[in-house]
């Protein structure tokens, strides 16, 4: 006599299969969901308007710390972000890139405006005084230190190179390594925009 699985067994098996298929999203970047830092950013944008992270709720937000006279990491990161946003098609308007200067002494509001918008007119530069800059860096665990140059104004700044990504609900979710392929970052952003 043949025995057939009961309806309850079939339902249980189907549920187990669905749970196995709906695991955590496969991000290309480092998933840092749930960290207890990177919760606030309160600086002034390149138009002079005060900005907070909450201003961008409903969008995926990419935050990168750097400075305009950076010779390598900063321009290549912003170029990569420009390429990433271009790959998003109609979702591009749902992503905001924020460039936070670590050099408020030299990165004036006007210089920051010219710099970030040269990469993409929608990118926003943020700045504060030395104390606000240090507080923002601490909040995001960003390392930075001045290295003296040949003149007092020709210093460089060694700094962390990762970018931080917030989901549309305003939660810090990903750390993007410097040099990550724009296709990978775009794929991660699409997952976040889809509510993953």
CATH number at residue 94: 3.40.30.10
- Residue pLDDT, tens place only, 106-127: 999 999 999 999 999 999 999 9
Q: Encoding tokens for residue 105? A: 């002494």
Structural domain of 182 = 28-193
| Residues in the annotated binding site | 70, 74, 159
Distance, in Å, from the CA atom of 51 to the CA atom of 47, rounded to the nearest integer, reads: 10
Whole-model pTM: value is 0.86
- Residue pLDDT, tens place only, 10-61: 444 444 444 444 556 689 999 999 999 999 999 999 999 999 999 999 999 9
Q: Contact 129/155 with Cβ under 8 angstroms?
A: no
Asked if the structure places residue 5 within a domain, the reply is: no
Half-sphere CA count of 153, side-chain side, radius 13 A: 3
| Residues in the annotated binding site for Cu cation | 70, 74, 159
Asked if the structure places residue 16 within a domain, the reply is: no
Asked if the structure places residue 107 within a domain, the reply is: yes
């Amino acid at each position: 006599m043949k025995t057939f699985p009961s309806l309850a067994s079939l339902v249980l098996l189907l549920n187990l299969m669905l749970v196995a298929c709906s695991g955590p999203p496969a991000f290309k970047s480092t998933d840092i969901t749930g960290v207890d830092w990177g919760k606030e950013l309160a600086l002034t944008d390149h138009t002079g308007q005060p900005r907070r992270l909450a201003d961008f709720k409903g969008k995926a937000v990419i935050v990168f710390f750097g400075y305009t006279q950076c010779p390598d990491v900063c321009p290549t990161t912003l170029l990569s972000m420009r390429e990433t946003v271009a790959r998003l098609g109609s979702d591009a308007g749902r992503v905001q890139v924020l460039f936070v200067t670590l050099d408020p002494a030299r990165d004036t509001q006007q210089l920051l405006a010219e710099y970030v918008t040269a990469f993409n007119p929608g990118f926003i530069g943020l700045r504060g005084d030395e104390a606000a800059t240090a507080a923002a860096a601490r909040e995001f665990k960003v390392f930075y230190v001045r290295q003296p140059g040949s003149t007092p104004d020709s210093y460089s700044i060694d700094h962390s190179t990762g970018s931080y990504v917030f989901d549309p609900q305003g939660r810090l979710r990903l750390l993007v390594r410097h040099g990550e392929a724009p296709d990978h970052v775009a794929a991660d952003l699409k997952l976040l925009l889809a509510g993953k």
